[in-house]
Amino acid sequence: MAIDRFEAARIAALAKLEIAEGELDAVAVQLSAVLEFVAALDELDLKVGDATVLAPTGVPLRSDEPDGRTLEPGQATSGAPEAEDGFFLVPAVVENLEP
């Protein structure tokens, strides 16, 4: 099996995703099944580095073209769980530097 419960827990931590202890074994089994399936790609004769990461239809990258539409800070924070004066609120992330 490609992934065990410990590896599953490591990936979940990377993804900032809480997974219950009791689900880790099932998650590991499901991810392993998919990874075993995708090994089919080894059957293809692929050129290393010949990568397509954008849609391969010739849409060129370009600069932004703003047209004057903007959101006020209050609109932008209107869907946030906690906001104040146009700012998103989160728990304190720095220690008090001058106790």
Partner 1 sequence: MTAIAAWKQSAREIASAVRAGRLEPGEAAAAGFDGPGARWEHDVHAVLASERSAREAAAASAPRDRALSGVPALVKDNLCTVDHPTTCGSRILEGWRSPYDATVVRRLRAAGAVLVGKGNMDEFAMGSSTEFSAYGPTRNPHDLTRVPGGSSGGPAAAVAYGLVPISLGSDTGGSVRQPAAFCGVYGLKPTYGRLSRYGLVAFGSSLDQVGVFARHVGDVAAVYEALAGPDPFDASSRPGAAPDVGGWTAGVRGLRFGWPENLWREGVEPAIVAALERAAAALERAGAVRVPFEFLPGRYAVAAYYLLATAEASSNLARFDGVRYGMRHRATDLGELYAGTRGRGFGPEVRRRILLGTYALSSGYHDQYYGKATAARTRIAAEYQAAFEHGGFMLMPATPTLPFLLGEKVGDPLAMYLSDVFTLGANLAGIPGLSVPMGLEPGGLPVGVQLLGPADSEPVLLRAARAIEMEGDPARIASAEEKEPAWPGSR
Burial of 8 (0-12, 13-18, 19+ CB in 10 A): buried
Measured CA to CA, the distance from residue 28 to residue 18 in angstroms comes to 14
Q: For partner 1, which is the closer residue by CB, 21 or 98?
A: 21
Binding residue for partner 1 (CB under 8 A) from 90, 95, 96, 97? 90
Would you count residue 6 as binding partner 1 (CB under 8 A)? no
Binding residue for partner 1 (CB under 8 A) from 1, 25, 82, 86? 82
Binding residue for partner 1 (CB under 8 A) from 81, 84, 85, 97? 81
Residues in 38-67 that interact with partner 1 by CB under 8 A: 38-44, 46-62, 64-67
Number of residues that bind partner 1 (CB under 8 A): 61
Measured CA to CA, the distance from residue 2 to residue 30 in angstroms comes to 10
Could you tell me which of 47, 48, 12 has the C-alpha nearest to residue 31?
A: 12
Measured CA to CA, the distance from residue 29 to residue 35 in angstroms comes to 10
Binding residue for partner 1 (CB under 8 A) from 6, 21, 22, 79? 79
Residue with structure tokens 């293809």? 44
Binding residue for partner 1 (CB under 8 A) from 18, 21, 85, 98? 18
